[in-house]
Amino acid sequence: MNSQNQSASGSPLQTSREEAPEDQSSTHVTHVREDVAMAGRCANVHLPTGRTCTLPARHPGSCNFVGPEETENAAVH
Protein backbone atom coordinates (compact mmCIF):
# COMPACT_ATOMS: atom_id res chain seq x y z
CA MET A 1 0.00 0.00 0.00
CA ASN A 2 1.17 3.42 -0.84
CA SER A 3 0.88 5.92 1.87
CA GLN A 4 -1.33 8.83 1.04
CA ASN A 5 0.21 11.92 -0.36
CA GLN A 6 1.46 14.26 2.23
CA SER A 7 -0.89 17.07 1.53
CA ALA A 8 -1.47 20.50 2.88
CA SER A 9 -0.39 22.05 6.15
CA GLY A 10 3.36 22.13 5.49
CA SER A 11 4.31 25.30 3.67
CA PRO A 12 6.41 24.57 0.59
CA LEU A 13 9.76 26.21 0.10
CA GLN A 14 8.58 28.50 -2.58
CA THR A 15 9.45 32.14 -2.61
CA SER A 16 7.45 33.77 0.08
CA ARG A 17 5.02 36.28 -1.24
CA GLU A 18 5.93 39.42 0.54
CA GLU A 19 4.69 42.52 -1.21
CA ALA A 20 4.72 41.23 -4.75
CA PRO A 21 4.40 43.91 -7.41
CA GLU A 22 0.86 44.74 -8.39
CA ASP A 23 1.65 43.84 -11.96
CA GLN A 24 1.08 40.18 -11.30
CA SER A 25 -2.37 40.55 -9.86
CA SER A 26 -3.39 43.01 -12.54
CA THR A 27 -3.45 40.23 -15.10
CA HIS A 28 -6.02 38.08 -13.43
CA VAL A 29 -8.12 40.10 -11.06
CA THR A 30 -8.79 43.48 -12.47
CA HIS A 31 -11.60 45.44 -13.91
CA VAL A 32 -11.70 48.89 -15.43
CA ARG A 33 -13.97 51.65 -14.28
CA GLU A 34 -15.29 53.37 -17.36
CA ASP A 35 -15.90 56.76 -15.80
CA VAL A 36 -12.34 56.84 -14.57
CA ALA A 37 -10.92 55.52 -17.82
CA MET A 38 -12.74 58.26 -19.72
CA ALA A 39 -10.85 60.77 -17.64
CA GLY A 40 -7.65 59.43 -19.16
CA ARG A 41 -6.77 57.37 -16.14
CA CYS A 42 -5.54 53.82 -15.86
CA ALA A 43 -8.78 52.96 -14.04
CA ASN A 44 -7.79 49.46 -13.14
CA VAL A 45 -9.87 48.20 -10.26
CA HIS A 46 -8.28 45.89 -7.77
CA LEU A 47 -11.23 43.66 -7.13
CA PRO A 48 -10.09 42.13 -3.83
CA THR A 49 -9.90 45.58 -2.30
CA GLY A 50 -12.32 47.49 -4.52
CA ARG A 51 -9.75 50.20 -5.02
CA THR A 52 -9.06 51.94 -8.29
CA CYS A 53 -5.86 53.11 -9.96
CA THR A 54 -6.08 56.81 -10.77
CA LEU A 55 -2.69 57.14 -12.38
CA PRO A 56 -2.60 58.29 -16.01
CA ALA A 57 -3.47 55.69 -18.62
CA ARG A 58 -0.55 53.48 -19.61
CA HIS A 59 1.46 54.80 -16.73
CA PRO A 60 4.81 53.15 -16.17
CA GLY A 61 5.26 50.85 -13.23
CA SER A 62 2.64 49.28 -11.06
CA CYS A 63 -0.78 50.61 -10.31
CA ASN A 64 -1.51 52.84 -7.38
CA PHE A 65 -4.90 51.85 -6.09
CA VAL A 66 -6.79 54.42 -4.09
CA GLY A 67 -10.03 54.46 -2.16
CA PRO A 68 -13.48 55.49 -3.36
CA GLU A 69 -13.14 59.16 -2.51
CA GLU A 70 -10.00 59.69 -4.54
CA THR A 71 -11.46 57.61 -7.31
CA GLU A 72 -14.48 59.86 -7.49
CA ASN A 73 -12.24 62.88 -7.77
CA ALA A 74 -10.50 61.32 -10.74
CA ALA A 75 -13.65 60.15 -12.47
CA VAL A 76 -15.59 62.00 -15.13
CA HIS A 77 -18.70 63.60 -13.74
Would you say 12 or 60 has its CB closer to Zn ion? 60
**Using rule CB under 5 A, residue 45 touches Zn ion:** no
**Using rule CB under 5 A, residue 42 touches Zn ion:** yes
Would you say 53 or 74 has its CB closer to Zn ion? 53
Would you say 5 or 58 has its CB closer to Zn ion? 58
Backbone angles phi, psi at 5, to 5 degrees: -60, 140
Residue 73 three-state SS: helix
Termini Cα distance of the chain? 68
What lies within 8 Å, CB to CB, of 39 at 6+ separation is 74, 75, 76
Task: Kindly determine how many residues on this chain lie close enough to bind Zn ion according to the rule CB under 5 A.
Answer: 5
Contacts with Zn ion, residue ranges (CB under 5 A): 42, 44, 53, 55, 63
